[in-house]
Amino acid sequence: MKQKAKNRISYLNLKAIGFKKIDASLMLYAIFILVVVLLILSGFFLHSMINRQTIASYQIQERLRQNVSSGINLLLADSTFQYNRIYYIDMFNENIDSLSIKKKKWGLLDLLSSKSWHKSYSKERYCYAGGFYKRNGMNTLYLADNGSPLCVCGNTKITGDCIIPKSGIKRGYIEGRHYSGDDLIKGNITFSEDIVPALPQQDLKLVEDQLSIDLNLTDYDFINLEEITKDSLYRSFTEKPLLIYQPESLLIDNYHLTGNILLVSNEIIVGPESSLNDVVLLANNIFILPETKARIQCIASDTIWVGENCYLAYPSVLAVLSDSLHSDNKMLMINANSRINGIVADLTKAPVQNQEFFPLYVDEGVIINGQLFSTNSVQFLGKVHGQVITNKFRLQTPSSLYINHLLDVEIDINKLGKTFVGLAFEGDQFPKKVIKWLH
């Protein structure tokens, strides 16, 4: 009885101070508010966690991007890295990120690769690289000293520093045409040796190895042209090179091929309806038909023939390479009004004995933006906005053959684009630069 009385007194006291019994709907409302608050707090927590993960992921990927850029820069700056060897580098010696770098020959150009990874994250980058680019002290012309002076005729224009034979330069006379200019050369003159600068022997050996490609190598994925089910094919440089091989002849027309693709045959013909981008062609003979547009590297052991009005975008390469003693049938010919943005090179090792044969022929109206190089002689009738290196000029007219004569041509280093990068020669100590980023 005392306890009941006590409880009643307590209840009366609570009622006296305003206590009221809570309605059930108010309790549900309070629980709803609590749930909403918990959901909002959970959302904030989840959002914060996702932000932290996103920031951490971004930081890792940004660090990997910096790593691959550092890897490319390392390959560009240090020439001691060997070709076809993978180098593994622990970035900052902290065992956090891994980096692998490699350089190899792809056509005539250096192909650099850099890959960095951290746990499940990875980044990789590829580029072409070269050691020739616009800088102070560059020569626009190197003509080996073979005992004959350089003779300029007609409307010839040579702008830039030149290295010419000790017998010097003089005005010439061809087919009734005297030299019409004032200055024979607009630049400084020094004297040459009896040989032309050479590409590094290791580089030439690697290019030769590509011409004698081992089709049993596991470094390639093989496909026949007939197996291409669509008219376009793309191959990333992050994948194995794709090799399209036909032994006798390969006609590329109405095909669109881009990227890490190698075409190999005895004879390759590229038609004007084709579209080739960053593709390498290896053959004994390569024929590019008139009106063709492409961005390609052509490496041949016998002949490269480029038809009229072709356009080869930067960085394209045309190179004939042979060490045959019977080199009189080796030819690189560029017909009238074609435009080559890149490198044109006759790399035939053996000297040509036939005085009436021109291993390198550049026809009238041809413009080469880049480098023209010949270990033998060149009949040159066009324009080079860049650099010419040759053993000898020959000019065949209906009446005679002239040695080291230039008629109505232009060689101008000042017109070389600031972003052009090409081939370095033996002994060059300049760091390399990126020619083009690849995907």
Convert the pLDDT of each residue in 26-57 to its tens digit.
777 888 888 888 888 787 777 777 767 777 77
**Mean pLDDT value of segment 263-268:** 96
User: pTM to 2 decimals?
Assistant: 0.87
Cβ atoms of 62 and 94 closer than 8 Å: no
In which band, very low, low, confident or very high, does the pLDDT at 219 lie, cut at 50, 70 and 90?
confident
With pLDDT > 70 as the criterion, what percentage of the chain qualifies? Answer: 88
Give the separation between CA 128 and CA 142, rounded to whole angstroms: 26
Q: What is the pLDDT of residues 135-171, one digit of tens each?
A: 888 899 999 999 999 999 999 999 999 999 999 999 9
Give the separation between CA 181 and CA 101, rounded to whole angstroms: 52
pLDDT at residue number 280 = 97
Cis? peptide before 315, omega within 30° of 0: yes
Q: Write out the E strands in 177-245.
A: 177-178, 189-191, 221-223, 232-235, 242-245
For residue 301, give the nearest of 350, 362, 348 by alpha carbon: 348
Q: How many other C-beta atoms are found inside a 10 Å radius of the C-beta of residue 221?
A: 12
pLDDT at residue number 358 = 64
| pLDDT at residue 8 tops 80 | no
**Mean pLDDT value of segment 286-297:** 98
Cβ atoms of 351 and 377 closer than 8 Å: no
pLDDT at residue number 328 = 55
What is the helix (H) or strand (E) element at residue 320, kind and residue range?
strand 311-320
Instruction: Write the CA distances from 231 to 78, 209, 228, 252, 293, integer angstroms.
Output: 41, 30, 7, 11, 17
| pLDDT at residue 173 tops 60 | yes
Give the separation between CA 303 and CA 319, rounded to whole angstroms: 9
Range 247-263 burial, b when 16+ CB lie within 10 A, else e: eeebbbeebbbbbbbbb
Between the CA atoms of 255, 259, 265 and 269, what dihedral angle is there, to the nearest 10 degrees? Answer: 40
Please compute Rg for the chain using Cα positions: 34
| pLDDT at residue 379 tops 70 | yes
pLDDT at residue number 325 = 47
Q: Which of 4-13, 155-164, 385-394, 420-429 has the lowest mean pLDDT?
A: 4-13
In which band, very low, low, confident or very high, does the pLDDT at 274 lie, cut at 50, 70 and 90?
very high
Give the separation between CA 307 and CA 51, rounded to whole angstroms: 59
